[in-house]
Structure 1
């Protein structure tokens, strides 16, 4: 009887079973493939077709790349070494890398100067791009343009120092008088900066020292991918604040300011960039005093900046129009004036909305810097089409050179795109 009673009592487990692994079809790579590649029959067919296209491309290009040569001195020697085997002649990259990066007239013993300026660019841009960093680093950001100018162009160090002092003095004058009148602060700051630059220009020949000199390099000697980077960084940095000013001017209640902004934006957007570059090369010098010798690089920067700032102005105007009217009313209810409401409430939200459009223009502008080759500035494309392919040693090499240029542009543009996506995620505070 007791045995029967003992057998009828249910067993109660005192310890839990270890968790079992999920089925293979519901986790890991199999689940990812079923979700992303073979979710439906049309997706499966497109996946198979894409894999086939990738296979065809790789089977055609991989042998050409893997059989490539890097140590020959000419195209004919490269073809003799290949002896009918399909292969690339990458020797042109090892032979002419300095021309592709720095141009063919930049002093070879000064390559360290633009290289150092490029490395310091990341340190200068870090506190602006990543706002979690200490604000103290912004001091170097403000000094960097003048330091980079001295490193790349050379000459006496007193030139960038006088320029920096002029900007600093103009800023303090602006801060002193802008509270009473914006016009007085703005034009007063410009006047003080110009006076300091003029006096500095008179004193520089007297105070110049050989110890503070680097070999001067004219802008005509700049070239290669270095020239593309300089134009891209300079023009994008200048066009964003100018575009903001034009967007605000287009929405201004002052008829004169609005008319000037509208005419400028519509005229620049209606003219191709290559036309503006020809204007910079031929006609822009006529707008300066007769004895003034305005550098071609400066003229190109002016035209490219005008072109991109007009497009950025329209992008930012779209961001301003996307804000609800209540944001403007909230700024007014707090007793903020126009400058305070724009700086603290309106522009931060409008710029966040405009990030994709601004990045799109920045990427397009960086690629459009290759157009300067039509006005005899030898950027990386101008170097390929001009001195390199014109030489008898490498006449006939195309894929290797243009592929190298495409890789460089892709790295920069992809980096800009990834940063913009990170910034959008970082600023996505709408639904938190």
Structure 2
């Protein structure tokens, strides 16, 4: 009886059965390919066509790159070494890299100066780009433009000192009048800085002892990729605060400031950059005193900064318009004045919304610095099209030089894009 009863009791397993592996077509690379590359018949056809197209490109370029010649003194010598084999002549890069980076007129014994300025740039940008760093490092950021100017251009050290003094006076004016209007305080500060610079420039010759000199290098001797980096970094750094001021000025309740900003933005956005560069090269000098010799580099910086600031202003204005009206009312309810409301509540949110647009303008601006080659400024493209290709040793060589230019521009632009994506994730507080 007991044996019969025992046989009728169900067996209960005390341990779980190990899970069976998923079928090969339901996990792993096979599933990813089926979901992403061969989900439908048209997708499969496009995938196969893309693979074939990539194969054609790689089969032609990979041997060309791997068989490249790095040591030769001319194109004809490269062809003798290759002896009919398909291969690149990268020897032009090893032979002319100083001209591609620094230009053909910058003194070779002074290459350490722009190199040092380039390295200091990372220390100056670090506390701005990565805001977890100590705020005391912003002192390096504030001093960097003046130190870099002295390193690259040389001359008397009193020039950057007086320029720094002008910015200090401008900041004091800005902090005094910004409570009335951000735009009024900003433009007032800029005007004060210009006045100090104009006064100091007239007394600099008498305050320039010889021991404060580095060998002076005129702007016409700047060139290569260094010139592109200088224009890109300088113009982006200046256009962002100017764009913020223009965006706020366009929304100002003061009619004069509002219409000045509106006319400026709409006029600049309606004119091609190449036209503004020709204006900087030919006409802008007529707007300065007759005895003043305004440097071409400064004129180009002014025009490119104005151009990019107009676009950044519209991007930031879109960010300001995206904020609900309650944010402005909340600032008023807390008793904040205009400057405090913009600095603590409105602008942080608007700038976070505007990050993709600002980065898009910055990347486009950095690439547009190559347009200065049309006004006889020998940036990296100007060096390739001018002195290098005009030489008898490398005449007829194009792919290797322009490929190098593509790589260096891609590295910078891709880095900016990746940083902007990191910054967006870092500031995505609404998803936490």
Q: TM-score range by the shorter chain?
A: over 0.9
Deviates more, 1:88-97 or 1:126-135: 126-135
Residue 202 (structure 1) aligns with: 203
How far apart are residue 204 of structure 1 and its match?
Answer: 6.0
Residue 118 (structure 2) aligns with: 118
How far apart are residue 239 of structure 1 and its match?
Answer: 0.6
Residue 360 (structure 1) aligns with: 360
Distance in structure 2 (CA, Å) of the matches to 1:302 and 1:2: 102
On the 8 A contact 1:93/1:401 being kept in 2, the answer is yes
Distance in structure 2 (CA, Å) of the matches to 1:189 and 1:406: 37
TM-score (norm 2): 0.93
On the 8 A contact 2:170/2:188 being kept in 1, the answer is no
Deviates more, 1:290-299 or 1:158-167: 158-167
Deviates more, 1:20-29 or 1:38-47: 20-29
Alignment of 1:221-236 (within 5 A): 221-236=221-236
Deviates more, 1:259-268 or 1:422-431: 422-431
How far apart are residue 193 of structure 1 and its match?
Answer: 7.6
On the 8 A contact 1:247/1:313 being kept in 2, the answer is yes
- Write out per-residue CA displacement over residues 255-282 of structure 1, whole angstroms, 9 at most, x where no aligned residue: 2111111111111111111111111111
On the 8 A contact 1:316/1:350 being kept in 2, the answer is yes
On the 8 A contact 1:316/1:354 being kept in 2, the answer is yes
Distance in structure 2 (CA, Å) of the matches to 1:203 and 1:266: 39
Distance in structure 2 (CA, Å) of the matches to 1:270 and 1:192: 29
Residue 139 (structure 2) aligns with: 139
How far apart are residue 148 of structure 1 and its match?
Answer: 0.8
Residue 342 (structure 2) aligns with: 342
Distance in structure 2 (CA, Å) of the matches to 1:160 and 1:306: 23
Verify: 1:48 aligned to 2:48, yes or no: yes
Verify: 1:295 aligned to 2:295, yes or no: yes
- Write out per-residue CA displacement over residues 156-204 of structure 1, whole angstroms, 9 at most, x where no aligned residue: 3232223223323443454356568976897478548844873586266
SS at match of 1:292: coil
Distance 1:243 1:170, change over 3 A: closer
How far apart are residue 393 of structure 1 and its match?
Answer: 0.4
Residue 414 (structure 2) aligns with: 414
Verify: 1:82 aligned to 2:82, yes or no: yes
Residue 238 (structure 2) aligns with: 238
Distance 1:204 1:162, change over 3 A: farther
Distance in structure 2 (CA, Å) of the matches to 1:176 and 1:279: 35
On the 8 A contact 1:239/1:309 being kept in 2, the answer is yes
Residue 267 (structure 1) aligns with: 267
SS at match of 2:104: coil
Distance 1:275 1:181, change over 3 A: closer
On the 8 A contact 2:250/2:262 being kept in 1, the answer is yes
Alignment of 1:306-321 (within 5 A): 306-321=306-321
- Write out per-residue CA displacement over residues 10-61 of structure 1, whole angstroms, 9 at most, x where no aligned residue: 4444444445443333333223222222222222222111111101111121
* Alignment length (residue pairs): 431
How far apart are residue 8 of structure 1 and its match?
Answer: 4.5
CA-atom RMSD in angstroms:
2.4
On the 8 A contact 1:367/1:409 being kept in 2, the answer is yes
On the 8 A contact 2:169/2:189 being kept in 1, the answer is no
Structure 1 unaligned residues grouped into runs of 5+? none
Residue 161 (structure 1) aligns with: 161
Deviates more, 1:410-419 or 1:195-204: 195-204
